[in-house]
Structure 1
């Protein structure tokens, strides 16, 4: 099983705002840090931060540079390891193209959502499929979730994480749960 052929993509566009409009959301540096840590822990190939906003790329790259090449690299070497896995893309297609170049084949996309969508796949089924090969790009949304057209165009739609009537996890918490359920066996 090749966990390194599975990547995360944190989509900041197209996503919904609280009123259902498609928007671009702002990057939060804690998401970048924590998703890098998840990817490094599970031996994933990397993390794409996807936003069409140049200012957000500049902010994210400056932060990553600090921890990978700047004073932060010596201060916290484990953070450096995690943040070396961070990549920036202006669109989902750009991320898919980069993955295709790096892995040699077009990745399949796995959409995640707090909502139940038609034809979802269970964590167990998806884990079995992932363990057969790859590459795969696991799509995570910001704001109020990934836009419907992206969800419906994905190769797979993962079942939502279900709790006890409350379904409002941070994207970082959701990512950790999802990745553990899908890739936890990579480490065993």
Structure 2
């Protein structure tokens, strides 16, 4: 899974997504590595593909987790799943396992000839966070974007601090604010790139 896909683009915009499994917070605020889940792999791949994403990076330094991801993806790329569900094959063929965010950023830069604009997401309030309409307008001019989503209890302050932009949190109608990363990713991608 080390090679990126062909040279598909969505016009002048080049979109990539990363699901960070380390470093992220746990509920106690400790920095941990979380486990890759089958649901996250499927749903992030399908959402990214729907909105023109060229690749989805699953970021984990844990070798056994990357091995597990390879097994999941191979089933849908070349196994029985590829024959039965060609749409999933298309989406899951874009999933790549990497050891670090730096590796993902480097791969995008090598592929596109320029470093990506890194966009962090968080359910927390973040100083200087940008709104969806502002980032959507910026993305409409094209460029290379890597949108980061965190598992567990979210991306670390250090990761968010290293981003070019951090999006405002998704706010619902009440105080409850704990969407699954799969749901949050779908909402974010639709707000930034949806046509409806």
Name the TM-score class by shorter chain. over 0.9
* Residue ranges of structure 2 left out of the alignment (5+ in a row): 1-9
CA contact (8 A) 1:2 1:131 kept: no
> CA 1:81 to 1:3, structure 2 compared with 1: closer, same or farther past 3 Å?
farther
State the shift of 1:2 in Å: 3.4
CA contact (8 A) 2:13 2:143 kept: no
Two-structure CA RMSD over aligned residues (Å): 1.3
Runs of 4+ in 1 over 3 A off after TM superposition: 1-4
Correspondences of 1:1-188 after superposition (within 5 Å): 2=11, 5-164=14-173, 165-185=175-195
How many equivalent residue pairs? 186
- Residue by residue over 1:32-56, the C-alpha shift from the partner in whole angstroms, topping out at 9 and shown as x without a partner, is 0001100111111111000000000
CA contact (8 A) 1:3 1:42 kept: no
Which structure carries more helix by proportion? 1
CA contact (8 A) 1:36 1:82 kept: yes
Q: Give, in whole Å, the separation in 2 of the partners of 1:47 and 1:115.
A: 23
Q: Equivalent residue for 2:5?
A: none
Q: Give, in whole Å, the separation in 2 of the partners of 1:76 and 1:4.
A: 28
With normalisation by structure 1, the TM-score equals 0.96
> CA 1:33 to 1:3, structure 2 compared with 1: closer, same or farther past 3 Å?
farther
* Residue ranges of structure 1 left out of the alignment (5+ in a row): none
With normalisation by structure 2, the TM-score equals 0.92
Q: Give, in whole Å, the separation in 1 of the partners of 2:57 and 2:12.
A: 16
